[in-house]
Amino acid sequence: MNPLSFLKNHPFAVEAFFESSLVLTYALPVGDLEGLLPPSLTLDTLNNEFAFIAVAVVQTRGLRPKGFPQFLGNDFILAGYRVFVRYKTSEGKSLRGLYILKSETDKLKMTILGNLMTSYNYSRKNIEYSRFDNKITVRITNSGFHIEADTKSGDVPLPNGSPFADWKQARRYAGPLPFTFTYEPKTKQVLIIEGVRENWTPRPVSIAKANIGFIKEAGFNKAILASAFIVENIPYQWKKGRVDQWNL
């Protein structure tokens, strides 16, 4: 048994500062995502027809254990691929949250520590993030990843073909949701990590280009860009992980 395996249960709180979090949400037929989830989780759907994957690019500053001085923190860029899900706790409470499929980061240190302390499947990538005025461009080498976003405020239309009726409905799938879930099949336990933030007000943005290699590689040919939001300059915390015994 790995003596450090307890670290994957997120044994202490973590804090950071989000300079920006750009999230593109893709809608897929429910059947395309059901097979990706562990048995403890169910899809958080729209009218039992669409399920959703969030593709997030986050600029993080000062990531560190809560209470540590900021100069001991680490700065990194993260690209994450997450499914919107629900979990019913052993106490019967229904929680909305995210299930992590894959994570990419620009720093080797974050790759090592991320895989030591989480089950989020981190890999190191060359992530190019640039911003000029209202234009954001993100490229990830060898991942087929290229996003161009316009963050200019104003009347932004929903992407063509979006299943959302309006931006208010889309906001429910903007991410990040309060909880992230990890399932341990041997013990049938679910690790629940709760995020804490203030003044989280996602702003709709327009997407000029969105090539997401992960979605293509997974064969999600029916994926539709449903919405895109950005939030900026947000202090963020993750609470100590809580283990819940899943009941069949």
- Token readout for 217 is 């590689």
**Amino acid (one-letter) located at 4:** L
Confidence check: pLDDT of 157 > 90 = yes
Higher pLDDT, 112 or 55: 55
The pLDDT score that the predictor gives to residue 4 is 44
Angle at 129 between CA 127 and CA 135, to 5 degrees: 150
Kindly indicate the confidence band of residue 7, based on its pLDDT and cuts at 50, 70 and 90. low
Domain range for 91 is: 5-245
Q: How many domains does the chain have?
A: 1
The pLDDT score that the predictor gives to residue 8 is 66
CATH code, domain carrying 199:
2.40.400.10
Running DSSP on this structure, what letter comes out for residue 243? E
| pLDDT, averaged across the chain | 90
Q: What is the mean pLDDT of residues 74-96?
A: 94
Higher pLDDT, 136 or 133: 136
Asked whether the whole model's pTM tops 0.85, one would answer: yes
The pLDDT score that the predictor gives to residue 109 is 87
Confidence check: pLDDT of 3 > 80 = no
Q: Provide the 3-class DSSP secondary structure of residue 176.
A: coil
Kindly indicate the confidence band of residue 5, based on its pLDDT and cuts at 50, 70 and 90. low
For residue range 191-224, list pLDDT tens digits in order: 999 998 888 889 999 999 999 999 999 999 999 9
The pLDDT score that the predictor gives to residue 116 is 78
Transcribe 46-72 into DSSP letters: BTTTEEEEEEEEEEEEEEEETTS-GGG
For residue range 10-59, list pLDDT tens digits in order: 778 889 999 999 999 999 999 999 999 999 999 999 999 999 999 999 99
**Amino acid (one-letter) located at 232:** E
Strand pairing category for 179-184 and 145-150:
unpaired
